Structure formats: structure tokens, C-alpha cells
Homo-oligomer: A and B are copies of this chain.
Amino acid sequence: MGKAHSNAYCQAPHFFDLPFTIKRRLLCGRDTASLAGMAQRWGWEETSTDWRSAIARSDIDAVDICLPNHLHAPVAIAAADAGKIVFCEKPLALSVADARKMADAAHRVQTLVWFNYRRVPAVAYARQLIDEGRLGTIFHYNATYKQQWGSDTSRAGTWKMDPSQAGSGVGDDLLTHLLDTALYLNGPITETVAKARVIAPNRAVDDAVMALVVFANGSAGTFEATRFGIGCKNRKTFEIHGSGGMLRFNLEDLNHLEFLDFSNPSSEQGVRDLLVTDMKHPIFGNFWRPGHIIGYEHTFITALAQFLQCLSKGEEFHPNFADGLAVQEVFDAVQRSAKTRQWTTVVRA
């Protein structure tokens, strides 16, 4: 992820009018050699293997945490305590308790959680259509995140397969993305019943999780995240049905949003394939001309740029640590349900 973040720091000023100057001051990590290579490639001024002294520096305003999940809490809390702006990779923490502590520690500083997919123009436009009432009363919200690499046993050794570092498997990694998007588009989730499965032999973390969820707005839906979705490289989807129409999205085609307007005459209703690259669509106009598509990295660039714009105006940026905590609360209910096999209420921490 360091590559995607570094790229955002380089590129944000190229495509957005930023109220601040970004300096790539210090790159921290464990391995000196790889730090040097990374710094060289991406223009980091210095490197260090000691994050604690980095946080103590007065010439650093913001700390960006790209670490295995179990390290998010201690580093974020230390950074926030030092008065730094804190950016943190998702999921925010390994537990609701940790996430609560992080949100508390950060109450005086501005924060960002890298649920970067809110910044896909098509996702932002989906939110806009919902906010405008175009979908009416929401009935159904379905979400999937399917990858296939779980079946590749050669990848067993990464920290993502170690519960002490990753928490869970696909749950922390992919389901939290689904939950953040759902909370963003459809509001709070109140209860869930879920099932998690380890599919690969001898694997310590879950490979697949599925859940039924109920939203505070009365809608309900199915969620599924898997690393055994053979045939899917990075297929994150949502499908929303409301009294006013339908929306569908697939991250592998992130420049598209499918929209059906149920207020059209019945003979003219059809799923509309919107290529969300118009100057009137959110975000896209910062990049290229209509039809000249963007990709994965632009979500990070945009999140960073919009954070800085919020910071400058004194507005709250989302998703921040409070939003990261909200995801954690739902995910906690999912995990409890997977253990108890019961419908489980989402508890606000």
C-alpha cells in the first residue's frame, strides 16, 4: 500500500488545487535497504526505522499508517497524542475497543481512514443520486467482494494470513470495505447474522464470510466477501433497489455506474450504463476529458486532496476515525454472530 499512498502524495497537487503543500518528509519502515529504494523512487526526503522518534518531530504534521492491522492502534494513538494529523489504513483496528481508543485519542486532530473506494467517482455519484432521492425508499442493499487468490497456497506466508497481525482474514481485509461503502450509501446497520468459513486446509484466518444484514432505514440485504471467488480478480459490487430505481456497481469497472430510473415510462426503463467520466460527475473532472478513464490509484489521490480541502475549510472529512469505528462496530457484530450463530445487534461503542 505504500506505493499507492506515495503516489497519492505525488499526484494530488497535479490534479487538485490544494490549500497546502505536501512534503514527503520521512519514510519509516523496518528494512533499511527497501526503505532506501522506496524513498529514491518516490522522492521521500529521509528514511527511518524508528517511528516513535518520527512522531516526535516538530517538522512533521501528518502521519500515515500503512502497517499490519495490529499496529494501527498503538501508532495512531501515539501520533494523535503527539497532535499529528493521522491517516490510517483500513480496517481501523483489530477490535472495537481499540478503534474506540483511537477515535478518542484523535478527538483533537483530523483523521482519515483509507476506505478509498468512497472516492470512486461512480460511488460518489451513487451517493449523490441517493441523496437527491432518486432511489426513493431503499428496499434491498446487496454487496459482494470477491477475490480468488485465497486458493493460491503459495501466498500463505504473508501477514494477512496471521491472525495476530491481521485479526481475521477476508473479514478484516475485504468485508470492512463492503461495510464502509454500505454505511456511506445506505446508513447504519442494526443487526446481522453471519457465517465465516476457512476453506484452505491449515489456514488460520477465514477465507469467506457471508451475512444477512438489516439497516436502520428498513432495508435489508446480503453481504459476502471471499478469497475463493474463483474467476474474480477484485470484484467489489453493490446492488441497490429502491422505490425510485436501481443502482449497480463493480469495482473492476469502476468508471461505470448502472442506474435504472423507475420513474421512466415502463417501456423506457432499462439499466443505464453510465460512464461516470462527465465533467458534471463528481471528482472525474479533476483528471481527464470525458471517456478517458481513470483507475485504482485515483481514489487515493482524491481522498487525500479532499481531506486537505476539508482541513483548510475546517470541515469534517469522511471517512475519519469515527467512521472507521462505525465499520468496526458492525464488523464486531458480524464476528460475534459467526461465533454464536445468532442474529446479533450492532452495539455502538
Contacts and interface: CB of A to CB of B under 8 A. Distances in A.
Interface stretch (A158-166, A275-283, A314-322): A275-283
A255 B293 CA distance: 10
A142 interface: yes
A265 interface: yes
Interface stretch (A50-58, A107-115, A226-234): A226-234
B275 A272 contact: no
A10 interface: yes
Closest A-B pairs by Cβ, 5 of them: A234-B291, A233-B291, A231-B246, A231-B260, A270-B272
A210 B199 contact: no
**Which DSSP category, helix, strand, loop or mixed, fits chain A's interface?**
mixed
Interface stretch (A63-71, A97-105, A295-303): A295-303
Interface residues of A, number: 89
- Interface-central residue, A193, A214, A259, by most chain B CB under 10 Å: A193
Given A233-B290, A253-B253, 18 more contacts: A10-B11, A10-B14, A139-B228, A140-B208, A151-B243, A193-B343, A195-B214, A197-B220, A230-B243, A230-B260, A231-B245, A231-B269, A232-B241, A233-B278, A252-B291, A258-B270, A288-B297, A295-B298
A175 B322 CA distance: 39
Contacts of A139: 199, 208, 226, 228-230
A287 B297 CA distance: 9
Contacts of A146: 241
A254 interface: yes
A172 to B, nearest CB: 17
A82 interface: no
A267 interface: yes
Contacts of A287: 295, 297
A120 B39 CA distance: 28
Interface of A: 4, 6-7, 10-11, 13-14, 41-42, 125, 139-140, 142, 144, 146-149, 151, 193-195, 197, 199, 208, 210-212, 214, 220-222, 224, 226, 228-235, 241-246, 251-255, 258-262, 265-275, 277-281, 287-298, 341-343
Contact of A267 (B246, B268, B278): B278
25 contacts: A10-B11, A148-B241, A151-B243, A197-B220, A210-B212, A210-B221, A222-B224, A226-B241, A230-B244, A231-B241, A232-B241, A234-B291, A234-B292, A235-B291, A266-B280, A267-B280, A271-B272, A288-B295, A288-B296, A292-B295, A293-B295, A294-B296, A294-B297, A295-B295, A341-B342
